[in-house]
Structure 1
């Protein structure tokens, strides 16, 4: 399904109680459209003529714990994982497949309650966060985290959502 002339979204509900998949797909489409627009305009990110594909996998905590254990040696669920199809540095030209973003339903619901925000807002944030990882953005070093969080905050603001980091230290 086309999100924007620059990106194509493939959604798969693999595990968990995601309810209306179409509603989650619409959230992801809006998040990706805003992210593409921001990266193209503000970060001078080039986008190919043929829309690259992003795969969004909706999972539960058990599936996410298995994936996190296999790929990151952390046998616990996490809210989002991103797997770029090809290495990409910020500002680089993406290939035909950007990669996979995987979301874990129970963790997202739990975090949304803890943060006092709607689940849909948290899903939107995590899609943007995962998408930026596919483009080579990271938050390992503080300076990289500050840059990535500023881009996330700007994208979410364009969607009418509040700063997910508020007065916190970079992740």
Structure 2
């Protein structure tokens, strides 16, 4: 399977086409997996580009928060570390050699553009950051406690630096 098949992109809001969500998602997911020494050809991720109304529905349904947000992730399995600040378990391998589904990501156009504009950032760089963030969630990283947040943010910064994107937390 070629690396271009890593991400299945579903565009529900045509405004994503101007940012080329598919290419941004492929690049961000590939960089994330390679940075963590995972072969991108062995995995699959689904990214849905939607709008604030749709992501608010999803946020309400899955997190009981009836508001829009920038990105949501649904890992295919729990890979979180046992200890706060610990490295998550690596994804398993499919015994048949088929790509392993890591999970799904939804990202909202309006919220992403609003955040990028408010921070005077490039929308493409901000979306790339959020896709990296979402893929890390699929891989078991989180930011609920301080130790986990420090680990996840550190890994995000390294991946984004590999992609030529400045530290998003140093505003």
Which TM-score applies when normalising by structure 2? 0.85
Over aligned residue pairs, what C-alpha RMSD do you find? 2.0
Select the residue among 78, 85, 89 that pairs with 2:69.
78
Distance between the aligned counterparts of 2:39 and 2:122, measured in 1? Answer: 31
| 2:66 pairs with 1:66 | no
Residue 40 (structure 2) pairs with residue 36 (structure 1) = no
Name 2:164's counterpart in structure 1: 160
Structure 1 runs of 4+ with >4 Å offset: none
Gaps of 5+ in 2: 81-87, 94-99
Check the 8 A contact 2:7/2:45 in 1, yes or no.
yes
Report how many residues are paired.
Answer: 158
Change (3 A) 1:115 1:33: same
How far, CA to CA, are the matches of 1:28 and 1:147 in structure 2?
22
1:10 aligns with 2:8: yes
CA contact (8 A) 1:47 1:94 kept: no
TM-score scaled by structure 1? 0.85
CA deviation profile, 1:116-150 (whole Å, cap 9, x unmatched)? 10100000000000000000000000111010000
- Within a 5 Å distance, the mapping from 1:19-168 to structure 2 comes to 19-20=17-18, 23-40=20-37, 51-89=42-80, 90-94=88-92, 96-166=100-170
Report the Cα distance in structure 1 between the residues aligned to 2:60 and 2:2, rounded to whole angstroms: 32
Structure 1: where are the runs of 5+ without partners?
Answer: 41-45
